[in-house]
Structure 1
Amino acid sequence: MHHLFDLTGKVALVTGGGRGLGRGMALALAGAGADLVLVSRTASELEAVAAEARKLGRRALPVPLDLTVPGNIDRMVQAALEEFGKIDILVNNAGTNVRKPALEITAEEWERVVALNLRAAFFVAQAVGRTMIERRQGKIINTASLTSEIGIANVSVYGCTKGGIRQMTRALALEWAPYHINVNAIGPGYFKTSMTRAVFEDPERRRWIESRIPWGRTGTPDDLAGAVIFLAAPASDYI
């Protein structure tokens, strides 16, 4: 059964791979045998994750760039192909948030969150998907959210984008299944990352959150390791 979860020889591109959930998913894939292309805006964070992956015996290529800048998505894909010749797995994870009441959201804040969370995510999937269609194989794992399913106050723009990710995942799964490309999403709930730090700094809010989770605790990036390996590996070929 080991072969069902073995990623040896595979190449995984992880956006938002320098910290938080992206870092955790990238290192999980490396632990299962995949080489990595790591993408985010902060070079120092990417280099640190790449060093951890190399300690696991994997190759790792840091690609520091802003996915919302025109042309950068094509440059990212080209860098990956020049280094590895293929992309087997895409973890479409880069994202940001603005945490404030809807009446206080500015047009600039709306555009900034939508540009990265939804527009960039779509065009990253499109660019990587083209290379997968040529090879007639691939795995795409989008990062959705609890807010893809339910409304949460003070994160309205984020929720809009994550609802979009859910529907994008469904549409691409239907369009690209004939090319043997699996498109799925992981929808994390409350996880402790730099993006959610402010939520957990309020003791009352933290207790309220934990009281609603059957396990009695919030998630950590390591908790996604099994899910991302499963969705990237042969075990999920019919999902």
Structure 2
Amino acid sequence: MQLAHKVALVTGASEGLGLEIARAYAREGAAVALLARSSDKLQARAAELATEGHRVLPLVCDVGVTAQVEHAVQATLSTFGRIDILLNNAAVAIPGDITDQTDEDWNRLLNINLLSVFRGIKFVLPGMIAQRSGSIINMASIQGDRSWDHWTTYAAAKGAMKAMTRQLAGQYGPSGVRFNCISPGAMNTPMNQARREKEGDAFYEANMRLHALGRMGRADEVNGAAIYLASDASTFVTGTDLVVDGGLSVLPRA
């Protein structure tokens, strides 16, 4: 198992990419703290993993609230003694034309998609520096680099996340802490499933055409990248953005 004896903290862990990666980490031998806002979903997912014999700690946490993030980190340290892996995955989407959006729209999205990353890093980093090891993985998006109509807020947050990751990789490399991003393409997650229900099959078909592989990704298809960046196989990898987009970035925009 690639993550035996490691401890991971995963935000947005009750569904979608976060849930799939948390499962993958646990099945690779890590103890996993699962953070999410939905208590019912979180407890159900944690119970499922515990039944398989994995060490898990479900923590109800709104990553938009600093005190809750600090508490979750301290609870993880109290339970497992250390944190080796931080996966910042929690996100929201607020699409819309920039001329129609409000300060509240921007503040809400940036609070969850960007400031929550800062919060997680702020409270996890001191322990990683003390142990002179750690992998911090920020779930970005191919939208941080490509133009996509009506997604300015989301793209701005993901682009800033990538810049933050590069900056911190350079600053904390001498301390033994690695910082990397993963940039998925369009994935068949609950967020995109909701869009499909709202916009119809045309949404799904349009997204399939954007990918060289001719389809949207499954949520579990990011697991390999997340395990690699968390494991000792990537000990010389930092400051990078690992793209998992089914070839979306190699095709011209439709």
Confirm or deny a common fold (TM above 0.5): yes
Tell me how far apart the structure 2 counterparts of residues 175 and 48 of structure 1 sit (CA, whole Å): 39
Tell me how far apart the structure 1 counterparts of residues 210 and 108 of structure 2 sit (CA, whole Å): 31
The one-letter code sitting in structure 1 at the alignment partner of 2:211 is I
SS at match of 1:97: coil
Tell me how far apart the structure 2 counterparts of residues 88 and 225 of structure 1 sit (CA, whole Å): 17
Counterpart in the other structure of 1:65: 61
The gaps in structure 1 that reach 5 residues or longer are: none
2:225 is the counterpart of 1:227? yes
Counterpart in the other structure of 2:100: 104
- Map of 1:207-222 to 2, 5 A cutoff? 207-222=205-220
Q: Out of 2, 10, 14, which is 1:14 matched to? A: 10
- Map of 1:24-173 to 2, 5 A cutoff? 24-173=20-169
Q: Per-residue deviation at 1:52?
A: 2.5
Counterpart in the other structure of 1:236: 234
SS at match of 2:14: coil
The gaps in structure 2 that reach 5 residues or longer are: 238-254
Q: Per-residue deviation at 1:209?
A: 1.5
Identity %: 37
Q: Out of 166, 180, 186, which is 1:184 matched to? A: 180
SS at match of 1:49: helix
Give TM-score scaled by structure 1 length: 0.94
Instruction: Compare 175-184 and 64-73 and name the one that shifted more.
Output: 64-73
Q: Per-residue deviation at 1:144?
A: 0.3
Q: Per-residue deviation at 1:212?
A: 2.1
Describe the superposition over 1:138-175 as per-residue Cα deviations: whole angstroms up to 9, x where unpaired. 01110000111112111111111000111111111111
Kindly tell me the number of residue pairs found equivalent between the two proteins. Answer: 235
Give TM-score scaled by structure 2 length: 0.89
Tell me how far apart the structure 2 counterparts of residues 179 and 228 of structure 1 sit (CA, whole Å): 22
Tell me how far apart the structure 1 counterparts of residues 179 and 51 of structure 2 sit (CA, whole Å): 30
Describe the superposition over 1:107-158 as per-residue Cα deviations: whole angstroms up to 9, x where unpaired. 1111110011111111211211111001100011100001111121111111
Tell me how far apart the structure 2 counterparts of residues 92 and 195 of structure 1 sit (CA, whole Å): 17
Tell me how far apart the structure 1 counterparts of residues 66 and 236 of structure 2 sit (CA, whole Å): 35
Tell me how far apart the structure 2 counterparts of residues 53 and 174 of structure 1 sit (CA, whole Å): 36
Describe the superposition over 1:56-80 as per-residue Cα deviations: whole angstroms up to 9, x where unpaired. 3211111102122231221111111
What is the root-mean-square deviation in Å for CA atoms of aligned residues? Answer: 1.2
Retained in 2: the 8 A contact 1:102–1:156? yes
Counterpart in the other structure of 2:252: none
Tell me how far apart the structure 2 counterparts of residues 130 and 9 of structure 1 sit (CA, whole Å): 20
Retained in 1: the 8 A contact 2:92–2:112? yes
Retained in 2: the 8 A contact 1:141–1:231? yes
SS at match of 1:51: helix
Q: Per-residue deviation at 1:237?
A: 0.4
Tell me how far apart the structure 2 counterparts of residues 219 and 168 of structure 1 sit (CA, whole Å): 26
Retained in 1: the 8 A contact 2:66–2:119? no
Retained in 2: the 8 A contact 1:27–1:52? no
The one-letter code sitting in structure 1 at the alignment partner of 2:162 is R
SS at match of 1:71: helix
